[in-house]
Amino acid sequence: MMYPYMTLADETEIVHSQIIEENNVQKVIVHFERPTEDGFDSARCELPTYKWILKDGYSEEEIAMFEQLLRSNAHLLYKYAANGGIQIA
């Protein structure tokens, strides 16, 4: 299951997975997607390694900005992943 996290000014939607336990490591998958005239630009990163498993349509500068965003928000992404997404009342 993927949970919404935020939408950027360029319409990039950021969503994240629940916590995935694999080899005694708690992982969170973060997906970035932006609509284009021909479909979508997509990128996907695996935390805690910050390994990019998909980069399609985004520039290297955008990927670097996403990685900076992830590094400063990883603690929140793990918190929300453990709690089933952001709980907004």
More confident position, 13 or 88: 13
Interatomic CA distance for residues 62 and 82, integer angstroms = 27
Residue type, 52: W
Q: What is the pLDDT of residue 69?
A: 97
Q: Which residue has the tokens 């000014």?
A: 9
Which residues lie below 8 Å from residue 56, measured CB to CB, with a gap of 6+?
Answer: 41, 42, 43
pTM summary value: 0.92
Phi, psi dihedrals of residue 67, rounded to the nearest 5°: -65, -40
The domain spans of the chain are: 2-82
Distances (CA, A) of 17 to 23, 42, 49, 53, 85: 17, 15, 15, 14, 9
Q: What is the pLDDT of residues 8-39, one digit of tens each?
A: 999 999 999 999 999 999 999 999 999 999 99
